[in-house]
Structure 1
Amino acid sequence: MTLQDHNIEKLDDTEASVGCNQHPSEPITPTIPPEGGLTGWLCVIGCSMCMFSTFGFLNAIGVFQTYYQLHELSHYTPSTISWIFALQLCLMWLPAPLFGRLLDTYGPTPVLIPCSVLCVFSLCMTSLCHKYYQIILAQGIGFGFGACGIFVAAFVCAGQWFEKRRGLALGIVTAGSSLGGVIFPIFVNILIDEVGFYGTVRYVALLIGILQVCACFLVRARMPREKWNKEAKWVDFTLFKNPAFALYTAGAFLVMWGLWAPFDYISSMALNHGFSNSLSIYLISLINAGSIPGRILPGHLADTIGYFNTMTIVCILTGLSIITLWVPFTYHSSHVGLIFFAVVYGFLSGAFISLMMPCCAKSGTLQTLGQRFGTFQSVIAISCLTGLPISGAILNGEGSGVGYLGLQIFSAVAMVGGGVVIGVARMGMAGWELGKRV
């Protein structure tokens, strides 16, 4: 067993993140997780609701991209419109260190309540917006910032109740985001003809509000609260002196650059190739349906062959799926082919999301884990902020709006390149012994 493996196993036994009813000044005395119990499993359900409401909604960005391109923002380019969703994705990561420390100090409820209110309020304001800058402020910045707090609370609290079954618990939690990505496009497509787009957005806000009210009652932390550490670093770029962490972060940056393009543009591409409006929207649901097993099964494989080994394979296969399954659709429109690509891509992209943070944890030692997470999230936020606008700018440059080849190649090269860089990080950690579990 390597030192890094020992540190990660030690983390499972000593993890102490966010609060229970002890005073912040009391020392933290970690205990063995109860492997769920009624409170723990109810917490998992509540956390899954949180992921449904946040990442699940963001996984349906293609519905909004397509609508804005065809209607409210039709005089803007796809690249300009994509900044709305790029900001959402960026803000899902950038404030995470802040919300993590707030959770450590005050517990989940004081974070969940205001963030839930902000998300619902932002969507209600989106339903009143008719100008680009208004949508940027409401849907891009407001919802993105609130969703980050909800996401952090859900991801942290669920894992505190489990040790042996933590993978299963977190798999259920993250599957909530995929389920949201399945439900929201269908929900929007059914309602939009009945009540219009802006009425539909208000119904989405109502659904998220109901789920978050339930989540605020269900999500509970097990570990004692910590004092606010004024000396703790939010981001520490000296950590990039560690080659494994530097290479892994660079690889993940590249993968995230290309990851979201199919989510955002597959629907509009399908419309341009003669798909019905309903089927083009349901492609987004199919991507997210494929990601449900993709978020669970590769985690079990990673337990057997290693997280970095699995991650390297997944990233390269994700990029290759674009070249072999999505690019041919540009030259020969096939309903079956595009549906098959949506399911395969959903599975592989879901695997990347589920393995991303565990690989970050394994890229260094326990002593720098908190700073490493914060630094990694800051870099990923930049990737999310720039990836979709770059894809949109490439699409703009192709002129007709029908040729998506440049966008597809950019996404594929970014993900394959990212997978290769992550593979180099793996080699740096374990050498050329390919059978070694890393």
Structure 2
Amino acid sequence: MSEPIELTTREASDQEKTDLPSDDGVGNSVNVVELPPVDRGMKAWLFCASACALETFIWGWNNTYGVFQEFYTSNPPFESSSLVSISAIGTASLAIQYIEIILVIAVCQRYPDKVKLAMWIALLVCVVTLVVSSFATQVWELIVLQGAVFGLAAGVLYAPIVMWLSEWFVQRRGLAGGIIFGGSGVGGFAFPLAIGACLDKVGFSWTMRIWAIVLGVCCSLALIGSNPRLPVRKPGIDRPRSSWPSGMMGFLKNPLLLCMLATNAVQALGFFPVSVFISTYTSTLTTSTISPTIVLALFNASSVVCYVLFGRICDSYPYAGVILFSGLGSALAAFLLWGFATNLGLVFAFALVFGGLSGGFPGVWPAAATEIAGSVHEHTSLAFGAFGVVKGIAAIVGPIIAASLHDKRQAGSYEKYGDHGYRKVEIFVGVMAVATALCAFGVAFASKSKRV
């Protein structure tokens, strides 16, 4: 167990009891309230399960966009629109949710008594937005509704989970974070199959309305179990509202934070092009309409195992080693499995290996955020938010770079290496994975320097 986690553990144990104002009308006496235990107990694991459910329906939806993209490009009334504009729908939603996390967390730390209400309002906005988008006839309407508005609301709905995770779990934070983050893989596996079938049977409009109802009901149940561990104290005359997180300049200049931001940036630059193009590449190898959906589902599902496994390992061992393993394994998968993928068998193998090792990379986030924050509890959530910002930017930049590297003139060609004009894309993805592995050494050095 690393030193920062030990410090946070002592800090959590000091919070097992807290003082809340009594109701005697005088205001001088206090009641001692027993807090639920960290890392164990029904309430802690109820939070974990509820947060995982929110992750499943919010981020699992994002991982499903490849199915919609394929539908939009081949069905009216959107098929005449450019691929760039159609791709902007899912990219905008994903990027906004990642980038806004740090801002939403900072506001939530400032106004903790308003957080739960904001989450309910955000869920309502998400549901209404999906229903309204079912009447859309122009791609720009989908960009505004499914992209911008849904992305903003979904970010507000989910961000408090990141903040409360560090309250409920300390020694098992990596394991709990892996379980929660793994929800995106679960949704990314199940939803493409279900939504793809729904689009075929009832069409776009009713698919959106049905999904809006499912999202509203399931996320409402998840919100009931998603609560902070520490009691929320309303501000008053004798208890002014807390200031914005302190020590921000020192936090932003933290060498370990900077190393992790660089690592997350190069890792995400290599990950998102695969998540965007894996279905399209598969369709070049087969005439089957279900194979691209299955590949995307397997790609998302494989990350679940690595999310949990990486998180559990990081609870007991240095996370720099996991970063190294993830980077090297992803590089080999990109250079060899995808590079020589001339049949569905190799594509399936690539989706499983790369999707797991690269898709499960955020499993290291809880351990890294804890060490970066040290004894300043609020900085743990802000570190998560900072990771999300660079990943959100990479979600936009990575696919753009990959699209520019794809040689459309060789779209129908068969090569020994890099079929259908994807050779440069595969090399780019592999190089980013190698860069991720090299960053592990910088992270290890910065981590060691921080503890000295």
Q: Same fold (TM over 0.5)?
A: yes
Equivalent position of 1:254 in the other structure: 266
Of 348-357 and 203-212, deviating more is 348-357
Aligned 8 A contact 1:80 1:392 in 2:
no
Where 2:231 maps in the other structure, the secondary structure is coil
Identity over the aligned pairs, expressed in percent? 23
Residue from 105, 117, 125 that aligns with 1:100 = 105
Instruction: Give 3-state SS (helix, strand or coil) of 1:94's partner.
Output: helix
Give the corresponding residue for 1:427: 445
- In the alignment, the residues of structure 2 paired with residue 260 and residue 150 of structure 1 have an alpha-carbon distance, to the nearest angstrom, of 23
8 Å contact kept, 2:272–2:394: no
Q: Structure 1 residue 415 and structure 2 residue 427: aligned? A: no
Displacement of 1:73 after TM fit? 4.3
Change (3 A) 1:47 1:316: same
The whole-number CA distance in structure 1 between the counterparts of 2:94 and 2:15 is 27
Partner of 1:128: 135
> How much does 1:140 deviate?
1.0
Bigger mean CA offset, 185-194 vs 32-41: 32-41
1:211 counterpart residue number:
218
1:201 to 2:208 alignment: yes
Pairing 1:174–2:181 present? yes
Residue 369 (structure 1) shift: 4.2
Measure the CA separation in 1 of the matches of 2:190 and 2:381.
34
Whether 1:115 and 2:122 are equivalent positions in the alignment is yes
The 1:28–1:224 alpha-carbon spacing in structure 2 relative to 1, beyond 3 Å, is farther
Query: Letter of the aligned partner of 1:69 in structure 2?
Result: T
Distance 2:311 2:41 in 1: 23
> Who is 1:52 aligned against?
56
Would you say 1:144 and 2:151 are equivalent positions?
yes
* Deviation, structure 1 residue 186: 0.7
Q: Does structure 2 conserve the Cα–Cα contact (< 8 Å) formed by 1:237 and 1:375? A: no
Determine if contact 1:86/1:389 at 8 Å carries over to the other structure. Answer: no
> 5+ residue gaps in structure 1?
432-436
Aligned to 1:378: 389
Residue 27 of structure 2 is matched in structure 1 by none
* Change in CA separation of 1:192 and 1:244 when aligned onto 2, cut-off 3 Å: same
> Larger radius of gyration, structure 1 or 2?
2
Aligned-partner Cα distance in 1 for 2:126–2:440: 34
Answering whether residue 279 of structure 2 is matched by residue 267 of structure 1, we say yes
1:225-264 equivalences under 5 Å are 225=232, 228-232=241-245, 236=248, 239=251, 241-264=253-276
Per the alignment, do residues 102 and 205 of structure 1 end up closer, same or farther by CA in structure 2, a change over 3 Å counting?
A: same
1:154 equivalent in structure 2: 161
Query: C-alpha distance in 2, partners of 1:423/1:60?
Result: 34
Give yes or no for the alignment of 1:389 onto 2:407.
no
Q: Deviations over 1:240-262 (max 9, x none)?
A: 54333222211211111121222
Cα distance change of structure 1 residues 164 and 356 upon mapping to structure 2, 3 Å threshold: closer
* CA distance in 2: counterparts of 1:207 and 1:21, whole angstroms: 40
Q: 2:74 aligns with which of 57, 70, 75?
A: 70
Residues 323 and 122 (structure 1 numbering): CA distance in 2 closer, same or farther, change over 3 Å? farther
What is the CA distance between 1:409 and its match in structure 2?
Answer: 2.2
The answer (yes or no) to whether the contact 1:33–1:160 under 8 Å persists in 2 is: no
Per-residue deviation, residues 60-86 of structure 1 (Å, max 9, x unmatched):
222122223333544444444332222
**Contact preservation (8 Å) 1:395, 1:403:** yes
Q: TM-score, normalised by structure 2?
A: 0.82
- CA distances 1:306-357 after superposition (whole Å, capped 9, x unpaired): 112212221232233111111212xx2x111111111112211232021134
1:79 and 1:396 in contact (8 A); partners too:
no
Write the mapping of 1:319-330 to structure 2, written as runs, cut at 5 A: 319-329=331-341
The aligned residue for residue 238 of structure 2 is none
**Matched letter for residue 382 of structure 1:** I
Query: Structure 1 stretch 147-156 or stretch 159-168: which is displaced more?
Result: 159-168
CA distance in structure 1 between the partners assigned to 2:195 and 2:310 by the alignment: 30
Secondary structure in 2 matching 1:160 = helix
Residue 356 (structure 1) aligned with residue 365 (structure 2)? yes
SS of residue matched to 1:221: coil
**How many residue pairs end up in the alignment?**
424
The residue number in structure 2 matching 1:434 is none
Task: Name the SS of the counterpart of 1:260 in structure 2.
Answer: helix
| TM-score normalised by structure 1 residue count | 0.84
Maintained 8 Å contact 2:9/2:170: no
In structure 2, what residue type is equivalent to 1:350?
Answer: G
